[in-house]
Amino acid sequence: MLENALIMVSIIFIVNVVYVSLMTVRMILTLKGRTYVASFVSMFEVVVYIVGLGLVLDNLNEIQNLIAYAIGYGTGLIIGAKIEEKLALGYITVNVVSSNPDFNFTKQIREKGYGVTSWYAYGMDGDRLSMQILTPRKYELRLYETIKEIDPKAFIISYEPKRIYGGFWVKHVRKGKLLNPKKKNSDAKMAESKTSIDEKDSKL
C-alpha cells in the first residue's frame, strides 16, 4: 500500500514538472515570436496536463498527491526557465558608455563580429564614447568579457528588443554565427601575404 502511494506521488510530481516546464518554454517562445514552435510544444503540454490533472482528481482524498502536484509545479517553473536560458533565443541590445573616447574601442568590438553603432557623448566628467551593440543572446556573456577586457570601468546597460527590422548585420547573423576573429585574422594575413607576393612578382 505504502509502495503504491509513493509511486503515485512520484508520478504526479514528474508529470507536473514536465507539464510546467513545457508551459514555461511555450510562453517564452510565444513572447519571442516563435509562434509555430510554441504551437507544437503546446500539443505535448496539454496532453501532459490532462494526465497529471486526472491523476490528482482521481485521488483528491490523498493530501500527499496535492503536495506533490504543488511541488512539481514550482520545480517545473525553475526547470523551464533554465531550459530557456540554455536555449538563449533572440537578441540582446547592449548600451556601453566608456570614459575613453577612442573609436578603436568600436573597431575592436566590430572585429569580434558584433554590430556596433557609436557616437561621442558628454558626461559630468568630460567626453565619453557611447555605443549601442546588438548580439545574439548566446554570445551575451562573451560580449561582456570583451568589453571588460578593453575597458574594465565601462558602464553597461542591456535589454532585449521586441522587434528588429533591417540592417545588414542581422541578415548576416541569421545565416550563421558571429564572425570568427581567428578566421578573420587568418584571412587578413593570407591577403597581406598574397599582396606581398604580387608586389615582388611585379618588381621582377
Domain match, 108 and 167 both: yes
Domain match, 98 and 188 both: yes
The answer as to whether 95 is a domain residue is: yes
Q: Is 78 within 8 Å of 84 (Cβ atoms)?
A: no
With a cut of 80, say whether residue 18 has pLDDT above it: yes
Sign of the four-CA dihedral 98, 104, 106, 109: negative
Domain match, 76 and 123 both: no
From residue 125, give the alpha-carbon distance in Å to each of 99, 100, 121, 154: 9, 11, 11, 14
Number of domains in the chain: 2
Q: Which of 53, 87, 121 is the endpoint of a domain?
A: 87
In the prediction, which pLDDT does 61 show? 73
As beta bridge partners, residue 116 has: 133
Q: Is 131 within 8 Å of 96 (Cβ atoms)?
A: yes
Domain match, 82 and 105 both: no
DSSP, collapsed to helix, strand or coil, labels residue 138 as helix
pTM (2 d.p.): 0.58
Domain match, 160 and 120 both: yes
Domain match, 82 and 124 both: no
In the prediction, which pLDDT does 190 show? 47
Give dist(CA 62, CA 139) in Å, integer: 48
CATH number at residue 169: 3.30.70.120
| Rounded mean pLDDT, 28-41 | 83
- The alpha-helical segments, DSSP class H, found in the chain are 2-31, 35-57, 63-87, 104-111, 140-150, 168-175, 181-203
Q: H or E stretch including 135? A: strand 126-136
Domain match, 168 and 109 both: yes
In the prediction, which pLDDT does 118 show? 83
pLDDT, mean over the chain: 76
The answer as to whether 146 is a domain residue is: yes
Q: Which of 40, 66, 87 is the endpoint of a domain?
A: 87
Q: Is 137 within 8 Å of 111 (Cβ atoms)?
A: no
Span 133-191, pLDDT tens digits: 888 888 888 888 888 888 888 888 888 777 666 665 555 555 544 555 455 445 444 44
Q: Which of 71, 87, 103 is the endpoint of a domain?
A: 87
| Residue numbers of the domain that contains 113 | 91-194
The answer as to whether 201 is a domain residue is: no
Domain match, 109 and 157 both: yes
The answer as to whether 200 is a domain residue is: no
